[in-house]
Amino acid sequence: MGRSYEQLSLDDRCEIARLSANGSSIRQIAAALDRSPSTISRELKRNRGRQVGYKPGYAEQRARARRWTGSRLDREPGLRRAVLDRLGQGWSPEQVAGRLARDYGRKVISYESIYRFIYAQLRRTSDYSWRRYLPRGKSKRGLRGKKSSSPASFIEGRVSLAERPIEAADRKVPGHWEADLMMFSKYGQAVLTVHERTSRLLLGIRLVSKVARGVARHLVRLFADLPNSLRQTVTFDNGTEFACHRALHGLSIETFFCDPHSPWQKGGIENAIGRMRRFIPRKTDLATLSNARFRRLVAAYNNIPRKCLDFRTPAEAFSRVLHFECESTTPPLQR
């Protein structure tokens, strides 16, 4: 049966001070208080004043000051401001903790401490605006609806994801993309999003309509400006807005589709859209969102550090890939 331990009380400290002043050894004091010698030794070392020696009242104050008095974010206003500022920009607690560690070369705070701080504010204040600091901003998980029939049979030339090149799956080779529509509450409003699997770069295009020909035309214009090696494959779900996917074949881009009812197979773009919801919620009226504001929000997403990138940002990761590609394809100087 394990031994139970209790904190020293003020009476215990008074007895320690009396016995120590009388010249008793640490083991004699420990025997008198029925404590271990290490407890008495630690108490005398940690709670002794340099000038006053060991005094019960002073020792009690020192011990209380060391006890946990709340979250570090409660105790350190500077750190709290730095964390909340980044959370307010759309960073997740894990991204905040990881980037601080990268910037300072040491662990500053854990993401679990940040989560606990936010949840503590929700409980303490009942102010649900604190949820805006959380990655999804939800208090409850939504229920999944029943599966309906899939429009996959209406897509000509559809190739299953199972036939996608193996190098696209491990994310080590750039040039493999995922695409999807970011939908909104107001009928007809949508944003075409594409996501590069290696760098996690996200590009967004506001759509006037979801007609398949128009969506394909936007995709062709977007990928036409990239080097050949950075436009190898694109993966879609089975929405009919991607029915004209074969227009990309003219750029030597292979197109693949998820299995019916399996959008998780293109998890990168699904996760990216979920993150973008913090900036552009589903209830947003795109007609009131200026193009400049829209571009700034996409840029904000691409400048948030990611754990999977060793807390680099997608913009930093893609710029490195693009730089190396341009360097490797630049023709040598003629002598």
Residue 334 lies in a domain: no
Q: Supply the CATH number for residue 304's domain.
A: 3.30.420.10
Domain that holds residue 45: 10-66
Specify the number of domains making up the chain.
Answer: 3
In a domain, 138, yes or no: no
Note the pLDDT of residue 264.
87
One domain for residues 89 and 37: no
Within a domain: 229: yes
**Residue 192: beta bridge partners?**
181, 205
**Are residue 180 and residue 268 in the same domain, yes or no?**
yes
Same-domain check for residues 16 and 88:
no
Q: Are residues 110 and 48 in the same domain?
A: no
Token pair of 317, please? 């990761």
Q: Are residues 126 and 158 in the same domain?
A: no
Non-local (6+) Cβ contacts of 243 within 8 A are 154, 155, 156, 212
Mean pLDDT of 118-131: 84
pLDDT of residue 75 exceeding 90 = no
In this structure, the answer to whether residues 290 and 227 fall within a common structural domain is yes
Rounded mean pLDDT of the chain?
A: 86
Residue 324: pLDDT band with limits 50, 70, 90: low
- Does a structural domain hold residue 269? yes
The answer as to whether 161 is a domain residue is: yes
145 within domain boundaries: no
Give the single-character DSSP code of 263: G
pLDDT digits (tens, 9 = 90+) for 213-256: 999 999 999 999 899 999 999 999 988 899 999 999 999 999 99
User: Which pLDDT tens digit goes with each residue over 271-293?
Assistant: 999 999 989 999 999 999 999 99
**Same domain for 323 and 218:** yes
Q: Verify that 229 and 269 share a domain, yes or no.
A: yes
So what's the pLDDT on residue 143? 47
Q: Which two tokens stand for residue 309?
A: 């990138």
Verify that 14 and 113 share a domain, yes or no: no
76-110: pLDDT as tens digits: 889 999 999 999 998 999 999 999 999 999 999 99
- The strand pair at 254-257 and 190-196 is best described as unpaired
